[in-house]
Chain A
Amino acid sequence: MKLEVSKDLIIINKELSVLDELVINFVSLIDFDYVIVSGYLPILFGRVRTTEDIDVIIKVDEKKFSGFCEKLKDYYFLNCSEKEAFSFLKDGLSVRIARKNSVFPNFELKLAKTRVHKYSLRNKKKVKLNSNVVNISPFEVQIAYKLFLGSDKDFEDARYLFDLFKNHLKIEELKYFIKELNIKNKVVKKVLGEF
């Protein structure tokens, strides 16, 4: 795998799957702060699996969000109407958006509310994917959060990202989030080994 990793930018060139193309198209419509988190990240970097949804953390006010909705001509809201969407977000709920004539994969948008969300937005990485750019959450947070979520699939994603990026991780930050999320040493050792 040829990857160029610098402080805030990762450059990767690959054959794009339909999922990558969908993500590129969707984020090209976003003109406010966002990061992609969770299951799409290991897929972006080569893990062979699918996902039902692409989780996106956003920071936006109502006016900007309304402008974004106007651009969603090829998409529709799955779990609310366009009018209800921002109040869903403000209440801490997610809104799901899919391509017209499909249900999955869909984009699950959430307003940044928690410290983990806000940290992810502040410290986002840009990924130059061929000639496109997508924003992703830092791996240190993602790996710790996957350990926190705790399903076998989450543990496998955490191990994969750790295996792939261990030479680039800020280990102190990873340890900080592991501690903050109260993940037991036993789990860390079982999934990531000693580090």
Chain B
Amino acid sequence: MSVLSESKKEKERNFKDNLNYIDFYADWIKKTPNKVWSKQQKQFIDSVYKSIPSNVVIKIKKI
């Protein structure tokens, strides 16, 4: 099997895995109280946005 066809198969497998995960997550969230899932979601989202360094703004403005 060539590198290309092997990688295409792997890509397709990953995609199916991700969709399966989406199904699992959607099932989980339907069964989980809002307070529980939204607390976890908030922790993740807040940590990402709060980690953005403020000097990013300055760099972009200079471009």
Contact B30 A1, beta carbon cutoff 8 Å: yes
Would you call A114 an interface residue if the criterion is a C-beta within 8 Å of the partner chain's C-beta atoms?
Answer: no
The 9 closest A-B pairs by CB, nearest first: A14-B38, A163-B26, A17-B45, A15-B38, A17-B42, A15-B42, A159-B22, A46-B29, A50-B48
A191 to B49, CA, bound (A): 30
Contact B49 A50, beta carbon cutoff 8 Å: yes
Chain B's interface size range is 20 to 34
Contact B52 A50, beta carbon cutoff 8 Å: no
Selected from B23, B44, B48, B52, the residue in CB contact (under 8 A) with A159 is: B23
Enumerate chain B residues within 8 angstroms of A164, measured Cβ to Cβ: 26, 29-30
Count residues of chain A with CB under 8 A from any CB of chain B: 28
Enumerate chain A residues within 8 angstroms of B49, measured Cβ to Cβ: 18-19, 50, 105
B62 to chain A, nearest CB (A): 12
- CB 8 Å contact bits of A16-28 with B (1 = contact, 0 = none): 1111000000000
- CB 8 Å contact bits of B40-60 with A (1 = contact, 0 = none): 111011101110101011001
> Given contacts A2-B34, A15-B38, A103-B57, is CB(A43)–CB(B19) below 8 Å?
no
A1 to B33, CA, bound (A): 5
> Given contacts A15-B39, A46-B37, A50-B45, is CB(A103)–CB(B60) below 8 Å?
yes
